[in-house]
Amino acid sequence: MYEVDRQYKVIVDPAVNDRMYDHFEFLARVNESAAERLLDQLADDMQSLERLPYRNPVFNRPYLKSGKYRYMVSCERYLIVYQIIENTVFIDDVQDSR
């Protein structure tokens, strides 16, 4: 089990930042304020993983090691895919789930 008061360090893979910027840039062409809200919400959700990262379900895919990754739904359609190793949350991907 995990500790409720435990603080985790969150590390975002640089490639994730690039993908988030691509989503932002695409949306900003249509609606700049919506794009800013998207980035703010994704960042807030990622930061929330400092506390209780185990609250989200396991990301089960046939091509991934079972139980290695978890995911969080953000902004109704984005999946933040991450793994927890000791006291650190590694965010490895952000996917548009549409």
Query: How far is residue 21's CA from residue 5's CA, in Å, rounded to a whole number?
Result: 32
CATH homologous superfamily for 9-96?
A: RelE-like (3.30.2310.20)
Residue 89 pLDDT exceeds 70? yes
What would the pLDDT profile of 45-70 be if each residue is shown by its tens digit?
A: 999 999 999 999 998 777 777 778 99
> What's the rounded mean pLDDT across residues 63-84?
89
Indicate the domain borders of the chain: 9-96
Closest CA to 56 of 82, 94, 75: 82
What's the mean pLDDT when you consider all of the chain? 89
